[in-house]
Structure 1
């Protein structure tokens, strides 16, 4: 039997704040009808599904789990142009989102920046730099 990887699950401190944050990055979550305050999901391309679960739900459903002091998950969002990385980073941090790494030209030929989602997970913003 070969397992199929098809779901990412992020533990969050505040489901509403997480949904609002990820909506700004183009993701639309649907709250679970049975657990609307603790669980939401979003279908992604290629059959992947992204879930948000509150720390409270994770604690109840996973024996021995406790919320980490800070996020250990990083999701990456590609933008169309290097200037878009700077613009989105500036907009997010101006609205109070924590910036973890200001935009920079990375040695792997991308414009890169990182912010934190409301639970402290890293969100990378990147765009390919022009060749040359």
Structure 2
């Protein structure tokens, strides 16, 4: 038997704010989940994104504290085309989320941008540029 990658989990400070952010990126969470301690959304390919409140984590790990300093992980969302990278970035920043890196044409052949979710996690937005790399299958 081999373990199977199944869930990406994030600890969130404000469930409602996090749900609003990820819903803007197209993820579907149950209606009325804003006051729940644990919420999941299905992802393409069968994975799940799980959001747990800080209190939920402390319920089984009493000494847990949010990390300080910069993050070492990010989530990346593929957009349909370079214009959608710009559009989604503008929508998220316009809704008050921190824009870490404005959209730019990266040397590796993609339009790229980075926005922070409500807890400061980096969320990359990307799309291949015309003539850029072919999508991975």
Taking structure 1 as the reference length, what is the TM-score of the superposition?
A: 0.89
Partner-residue secondary structure (3-state), 1:18: helix
4+ residue stretches of structure 1 with deviation over 3 A? none
What is the CA–CA distance in structure 2 between the aligned matches of 1:75 and 1:84, rounded to whole Å?
Answer: 17
Superimposed CA distance per residue, residues 41-86 of structure 1 (whole angstroms, 9 cap, x where no aligned partner): 0111222111000111112223532111356331000111111111
Mapped partners of 1:43, 1:61: distance in 2: 24
Aligned to 1:59: 58
Counterpart for residue 7 of structure 2: 7
For structure 1, list consecutive stretches of 5 or more residues without a partner in the other structure. none
Give the alignment's Cα RMSD to 1 decimal: 2.0
**Structure 1 residue 91 displacement after superposition:** 1.6
Which residue pairs with 2:68 in the alignment?
69
| Residues paired across the two proteins, number | 130
Deviation at residue 129 of structure 1 after TM alignment = 0.4
Q: Which moved more, 1:4-13 or 1:36-45?
A: 36-45
Secondary structure of 2:21 counterpart:
helix
Partners of 1:31 and 1:39 within 8 A in 2? no
